[in-house]
A and B are shown apart, each in its own frame.
Chain A
Amino acid sequence: MLRQAWAVFQKDIRMEFRGKEALNAAVAFALVVLILFSFAIDPTSEELREMSGGLLWILFAFSGVLLLNRSFSREQANDTLDVLMSLRVRPSALLLGKAWANLIFILLVEAICLPVFGVLYNIDITGQPGWLLLTLLLATWAIAVVGTVFAAMTVNLRLRELMLPVIVYPMIIPALAGAIRLTNLALTGAPPAGDDWIWVRLLIGFDIIFTALALGLIDFILVD
């Protein structure tokens, strides 16, 4: 299964980097929102520091969905999904490969946005780099795996661009809540302590449960 997932991952990465259509759109969207908000919010205010996690994760979730929408729709143009299924590629391998690729795409958007955010909002993003990185990885995987499975579910809908965010956002609220809290902590430079660990555990638990659910359900989603 992992061999097939790796092949799908490489293929999706190659396809996106050849055109960069979804990636460019997601980065452009994220940067425009960051710049617009920088006019609306006083960059020296203390409130900004407290809401920076929320701003960032809303931004990552919204721009992430732009990337997730392409995940299975790129298999539709020439009926390649049918070919993959007839070759007995395991649906779970397909999901895993695509989720890995989406993880990389969303992390790339985050890697571009974070320094811009730091400069525009006058916030040091290097205070707790380890914790910030861990939060980014755990929460981005949550968005990627939930988003990929729902992208498979909505791929045949005419309004899939609209339906995907409507379905995905409510599902990832617990992961986003944890990510916002931990990102706020990381940006203030303080390591998690005491009750903060519950958010780390929540993110890890969310990732494990939703990865298992996605791998278990994808077979029923892809074969009609």
Chain B
Amino acid sequence: MTLLSAQKVGKFFGSFPALRALSFTVERGQCVALLGRNGAGKTTLLRILGGLSRPTDGGLQSQARISILGHGIGVYDELSARQNLDFFAALSPVAINTAAWLEKVNLTQVADAPLREYSRGMRQRLALARTFMGEPELLLLDEPFTSLDDKATALLQTLLGEALQRGAAVVLSTHQIPEAMTLATHVLFLERGKLAFAGPRPAEMLQDPGWLYRNYGAVA
């Protein structure tokens, strides 16, 4: 079942083409690794998929419930962990047991303390709870492994596995190809705003993370 369909999506910033005529679909249960060098258009594409930016050309079709984890952690420093999750749960169309999520990310003991008293790892775990709670159908993750501590990395991998198992789709942009390839079923490879490769994850990527860049990395 198709969760998201992009048809000839393009985005211009002034006269600069950030994305050029991208067409692809994301199906239920797929984990799509969005790869590309810095400036290739990964974040721009994720913003368009998340409804944060309008494409200049083409269109998107998706009725999926989306959750996004960007470069910021997406929670409020002035609130406690419980208040943060309660707030986002109140905005969700589905009922969410926030206490269970606090337990799951091991923050129950400090649930009522303001976030500015949290360590970086605790804040990351709360961000993961916020992202995955409510069983979103499509998860958009922008470099999710960057600067995670070991506990948060393990938690992220567990949550991603659970989400994929229940049929959610994941689109994750990353430069950490080895971590991504263990989860990815499909790959979108962007090169200067163009889709240089789109399809099932090449088996070669498991042994050789640079394979895609060498074979598809020179789009004119």
Contacts and interface: CB of A to CB of B under 8 A. Distances in A.
A78 interface: yes
Contacts of A74: 76, 78
A11 B87 contact: yes
Given A83-B130, A87-B66, A223 B77 contact: no
A7 B91 contact: yes
B105 interface: no
Interface string A76-99: 011110111111110000000000
B219 interface: no
A82 B70 contact: yes
A87 B70 CA distance: 13
B69 to A, nearest CB: 8
B217 interface: no
A133 interface: no
Given A15-B79, A18-B79, A82 B72 contact: yes
Main secondary structure of the interface of B (DSSP, over half): loop
Contacts, number: 80
Contact of B52 (A4, A10, A11, A223): A223
B154 to A, nearest CB: 23
B79 A77 contact: no
Contacts of A10: 87
B54 A87 contact: no
Contacts of A78: 72-77
A86 B50 contact: yes
Contacts of B50: 82, 85-86
B51 A15 contact: no
Interface in B18-66: 47, 50-54, 65-66
Main secondary structure of the interface of A (DSSP, over half): helix
Contact of B72 (A14, A80, A87): A80
B51 A224 contact: no
A65 to B, nearest CB: 21
A4 B91 contact: yes
- Measured as residues with beta carbon below 8 angstroms from the partner, the interface class of chain A is 20 to 34
Given A18-B114, A85-B50, A223-B52, A7 B87 contact: yes
A85 B51 contact: yes
B92 interface: yes
B66 to A, nearest CB: 5
Interface string B149-179: 0000000000000000000000000000000
B66 A86 contact: yes
A194 interface: no
A170 interface: no
4 closest A-B pairs by CB: A79-B72, A86-B68, A83-B74, A7-B90
Interface of B: 47, 50-54, 65-68, 70-79, 83, 87-88, 90-92, 114, 130, 140
Given A4-B90, A78-B73, A85-B51, 13 more contacts: A3-B90, A18-B79, A74-B76, A80-B75, A80-B76, A82-B50, A83-B130, A86-B140, A87-B66, A87-B88, A88-B51, A89-B91, A224-B52
27 contacts: A3-B90, A14-B83, A15-B76, A15-B78, A18-B79, A19-B78, A77-B77, A80-B76, A82-B47, A82-B52, A82-B68, A82-B72, A82-B74, A83-B68, A83-B74, A83-B88, A84-B91, A85-B52, A86-B66, A87-B66, A87-B88, A87-B91, A223-B51, A223-B53, A223-B54, A224-B53, A224-B54
Interface of A: 3-4, 7, 10-11, 14-15, 18-19, 74, 77-80, 82-89, 223-224
